[in-house]
């Protein structure tokens, strides 16, 4: 299994011939090295409806035919845009051909901001995902604050890889993300949602060193870099 980071909260996972794309914010993402037209996912997973997570979903899904997995309200809106969607509710689990997806709570907002109309469209609850892919379990936390129910995630099944936000301001900062890594029992962590904008500047390598001091593997991937799981 290969996990590739495309900057911000966007990851591409290749597993058993399937390509999963999470939160494809490419256009307008100064860290991204890939172009939307070069991404050909089978499935797109969206954690919530903010512009920097929905990103290029509509364009990529229309070009690739990908099914979009998202919180229910967001999936309905994307269906109205002509996409194939599968909506889920918080706490729900569904088995797909590539593996299973569980929608996890995230403490954060979720709305698509239409600046030209001065309008915000509510997109349902903010979420994270627990993915069971073969014998591996991956937790993408989405944009979230630290919350104590994260302990339940690690109690249910071991987390082989966690993608945790560290940017602060809009999400957890590195100190809270360290606690989250321990609470979910992550064997390995990739920091995300940092250094994209001035308000979320952080040192990913310093965060990884603190993880390793706690006995947790870490990888501060640069956009375009991958790891094998």
Q: How many CB atoms lie within 10 A of CB 217?
A: 14
* pTM of the entire predicted model: 0.96
What is the arithmetic mean of pLDDT over 34-40? Answer: 96
Asked if residue 207 belongs to a domain, the reply is yes
What pLDDT does residue 157 have? 86
Asked if residue 26 belongs to a domain, the reply is yes
For residue 70, the domain's CATH number is 3.60.15.10
Task: Write the CA distances from 82 to 21, 78, 105, integer angstroms.
Answer: 18, 7, 27
Number of domains comprising the chain: 1
Q: How many CB atoms lie within 10 A of CB 99?
A: 18
What pLDDT does residue 49 have? 95
Residue 95: CB partners within 8 Å, gap ≥ 6? none
Asked if residue 226 belongs to a domain, the reply is no
Asked if residue 227 belongs to a domain, the reply is no
Which SS3 state, helix, strand or coil, does residue 57 take?
Answer: helix
Asked if residue 36 belongs to a domain, the reply is yes
Asked if residue 184 belongs to a domain, the reply is yes
DSSP tag of 66:
P
Strand order in the sheet with 84-88: 84-88, 67-71, 43-45, 18-22, 11-15, 2-5, 226-228
Which pLDDT tens digit goes with each residue over 96-124?
999 999 999 999 999 989 888 999 989 99
Q: Which domain holds residue 164?
A: 2-219
């Amino acid at each position: 299994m290969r996990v590739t980071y495309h900057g911000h909260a966007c990851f591409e996972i290749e597993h058993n011939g399937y390509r999963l794309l999470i939160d494809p914010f490419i256009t307008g993402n100064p860290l991204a090295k890939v172009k939307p037209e070069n991404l050909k996912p089978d499935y797109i997973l969206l954690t919530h409806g903010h512009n920097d997570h929905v990103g290029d979903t509509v364009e990529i899904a229309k070009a690739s035919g990908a099914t979009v997995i998202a919180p229910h309200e967001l999936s309905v809106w994307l269906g109205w845009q002509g996409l194939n969607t599968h909506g889920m509710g918080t706490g729900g689990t569904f088995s797909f051909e590539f593996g299973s997806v569980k929608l996890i709570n995230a403490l954060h907002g979720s709305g698509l901001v239409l600046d030209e109309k001065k309008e915000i469209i509510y997109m349902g609850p903010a979420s994270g995902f627990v993915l069971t892919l073969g014998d591996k379990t991956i937790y993408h936390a989405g944009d979230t604050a630290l919350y104590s129910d994260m302990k339940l995630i690690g109690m249910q099944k071991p987390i082989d890889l966690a993608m945790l936000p560290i940017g602060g301001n809009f999400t957890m900062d590195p100190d809270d993300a360290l606690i989250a890594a321990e609470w979910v029992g992550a064997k390995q962590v990739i920091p995300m949602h940092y250094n994209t904008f001035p308000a979320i500047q952080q040192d990913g390598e310093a965060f990884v060193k603190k993880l390793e001091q706690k006995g947790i593997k870490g990888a501060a991937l640069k956009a375009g870099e991958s790891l094998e799981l």
